[in-house]
A and B are shown apart, each in its own frame.
Chain A
Amino acid sequence: DGGITQSPKYLFRKEGQNVTLSCEQNLNHDAMYWYRQDPGQGLRLIYYSQIVNDFQKGDIAEGYSVSREKKESFPLTVTSAQKNPTAFYLCASSIGTSGDTQYFGPGTRLTVL
């Protein structure tokens, strides 16, 4: 079955540690996205990539980094510079960006202790 996988579902880290969230898709989509979700704030775009080896900052990129070395993979690193990293992180992909449906993964809930 085609889809998007995110791992792990729950992640705990100590303050000051970097952590990498995995996102893989087998839909052959060109575009991939990372969103952060906090209660009452909807989805906020962290980074997106429209093609391999290229990515753009979203609205809240500070304290995060990404890479897009393969079409199917778009990992997100939450660095120690991110002041409030505890949140629910969602990865998505789409064929392109113009009116295309986004397909979301199940999410990773990150808790920084």
Chain B
Amino acid sequence: AQSVTQLDSQVPVFEEAPVELRCNYSSSVSVYLFWYVQYPNQGLQLLLKYLSGSTLVKGINGFEAEFNKSQTSFHLRKPSVHISDTAEYFCAVSRGSYIPTFGRGTSLIVHP
């Protein structure tokens, strides 16, 4: 079985501050890991994904994530956030040919 936990339901931060959104997964085998972003009343779009190779993955809009196998984590980071980064962020995990499982989401709220 695979599952994913997003530890924070809401993360408030001031503009230009750094942010980290946390994601932990449970799986005893190799996994694929994803971060998606959802702006209000829209569908999701891919920020970045880890399939194999380098554990530091860079995505769109200045986001990056680090795959940590020993801690079964895939935290998302951005060194300086903008008002436009306000959105819902979803972590997802899949293994083999299994359908991805999504976390409950983290609402990033950027204050001016």
Residues of chain A at the chain B interface (Cβ within 8 Å): 4, 6, 33, 35, 40-43, 45, 48, 58, 90, 92, 96-99, 101-102, 104-107, 109
Q: Is the interface of B mostly helix, strand, loop or mixed?
A: loop
Interface 9-mer from B62-70, B72-80, B96-104: B96-104
A77 to chain B, nearest CB (A): 20
Sample 10 A-B pairs with CB under 8 A, ordered by A number: A40-B104, A40-B105, A43-B44, A96-B97, A99-B32, A99-B49, A101-B46, A102-B46, A106-B43, A107-B41
Is B94 part of the binding interface, using a Cβ–Cβ cutoff of 8 Å?
yes
Inter-chain contacts of A109 with B (CB < 8 A)? 41
- Bound-complex Cα distance A107 to B45 (A): 12
Q: B42 is contacted by which of A48, A96, A102, A106 (Cβ under 8 Å)? A: A106
Contact A48 B103 (CB under 8 A): no
Between A and B, how many residue pairs show CB distances below 8 Å?
A: 54
- Bound-complex Cα distance A45 to B102 (A): 9
- Number of B positions contacting A (CB below 8 A): 23
Is B7 part of the binding interface, using a Cβ–Cβ cutoff of 8 Å?
no
